[in-house]
Amino acid sequence: MPGFELFGDQERKQVNDVLESGVLMRYGFDGMRNGHWKAVELEDAISKRMEVKHTQLVSSGTSALTVALASAGIGAGDEVIMPTFTFVASFESIIALGAVPVLVDIDNTLTLDPKKVKEAITDKTKVVMPVHMCGSMADLKALSLICKEHNLLLLEDACQAIGGSFDGKPLGSYGDLGCFSFDYVKTITCGEGGAIITNNEDYKINSDHYSDHGHDHIGKDRGAETHPFLGYNYRISELNAAVGLAQIARLDEFIDIQKKNYAILRNAIENIPGVEMRSVPDGGVENYSFLSFFMPDEVTARTTQKELVNNGVDGCFYWFDNNWHYIKKWDHLKDLKTLGKLPQEVVIGLPDYHMQDFKQSDHWLGRNISILIKLSWTEEEVKQRAEKMNEVLENILETAK
């Protein structure tokens, strides 16, 4: 999956442009730049590739989620529905604004269950935030209908799924706002970085200002810019944007490689009795960064993951026990462990997640295994991996009969 696997001359050329100009900041210093505006160029390239009107680059995927929510006016006490299976950044971005993360069960898509979303809506709900984990998407059609019915914002966390699509639209562009991460292990990387995409001009203007201390970016004298509202520093650097500019041009190349490797591995295991593949909603096309499947039960899944690793299948994840990606290990959220005092809206509004029943999520994630799809594998390495996966799964399931 990671774009850094194929880092090469294109990336070096873009970075050298910045180093030779000496201007590492995305704003100002016009006369020194030698015409290089890497962040602006990358924003234009992302907008074109994602078929949207506006892109705002920021410093990370986490900041992209924070800025996206802020750009739509989400703040203290507002409830944001999100899945139990994601990265901790999803709820961190919500709490950073004083809003309340409302965790909801996943289904066999490994993403938000629309039925559970409907049940979780209250008069404080403002946003539904599906997270397209491991390269595939939520049922965006169903979630969009729910959002329209209840006048809610649909925010796609597509940080792990850039290059996928739904109903012919690039992931991230289907909702009101979409967010990407370009950290070091994403399909394309800036080293560190993120982006917000939208067709809403107000959200674009707000995210542009909010991510740079509230600067309005009018004129060419940064010291004379006004501040229509408070903001923070979520800027990306020109160096990071330069890497991303090379990588966005290679996105389709990377997706093609992932698809080819994914297909070989999937063909090796999908017809084994007892193996159930992850469900992809109708109209959805994965970005093929992970191959995710279910074993018959939790015990078998745990055994399988260990045997795959012992047999040289690296990048084999059992998310159910993962500290970063599932509610089961998020004690810092459940206990609200922070360095400073949290807003009362969060303290009062956050459900007691020690007591919440997420057995539906446990049912799916407890049986799930996800295999990372690498870009740098040779044909022989993919073939050997497929054979080993087939051998391990068949042996385990035959023994379990």
Residues 35-49 have a mean pLDDT of 98
* Domains of the chain, CATH where assigned: 3-250 (3.40.640.10), 253-399 (3.90.1150.10)
The Cα–Cα gap between 248 and 243 comes to 9
Give the count of beta carbons closer than 10 Å to the beta carbon of residue 329.
15
Q: Are 225 and 215 in contact (CB under 8 A)?
A: yes
186 labelled catalytic: yes
Report field, pTM of the whole predicted structure over 0.75: yes
pLDDT beyond 90 at 401: no
3-state SS, 273-297, equals: CCCEECCCCCCEECCCCEEEEECCC
CB 301, CB 295: distance < 8 Å:
yes
Read off the pLDDT of residues 78-113 as tens digits, 9 standing for 90 and up. 999 999 999 999 999 999 999 999 999 999 999 999
Residue 59's pLDDT band (cuts 50, 70, 90): very high
Q: What is the pLDDT of residue 67?
A: 98
Q: What is the four-CA torsion angle of 49, 51, 53, 56, rounded to 10 degrees? A: -40
Q: Residue 1: its pLDDT value, please?
A: 76
How far is Cα 126 from Cα 75, in angstroms, rounded to an integer? 10
The strand pairing partners of 212, in sequence order, are 233
At residue 85, the pLDDT reads 98
Question: Pick the residue with more confidence: 220 or 178?
Answer: 178
> What is the spatial distance between Cα 88 and Cα 327, in angstroms, rounded to a whole number?
9
pLDDT of residue 399: 87
The pLDDT score that the predictor gives to residue 257 is 97
Identify the band that residue 2 occupies on the pLDDT scale cut at 50, 70 and 90.
Answer: confident
Residues near 48 by beta carbon (within 8 Å), at least 6 away in sequence: none
Location of structure tokens 């462990």: 337
Angle between the N-to-C axes of helices 9-21 and 38-50, in degrees from 0 to 180, rounded to the nearest 10: 140
Q: What is the pLDDT of residues 314-364, one digit of tens each?
A: 999 999 999 999 999 999 999 999 999 999 999 999 999 999 999 999 999
pLDDT category of residue 125 using cuts at 50, 70 and 90 = very high
Catalytic residue among 38, 116, 186, 374: 186
Label residue 166 by pLDDT band (50, 70, 90).
very high
What average pLDDT score do residues 192-209 get? Answer: 98
The per-residue pLDDT for range 22-33, each reduced to its tens digit, is 999 999 999 999
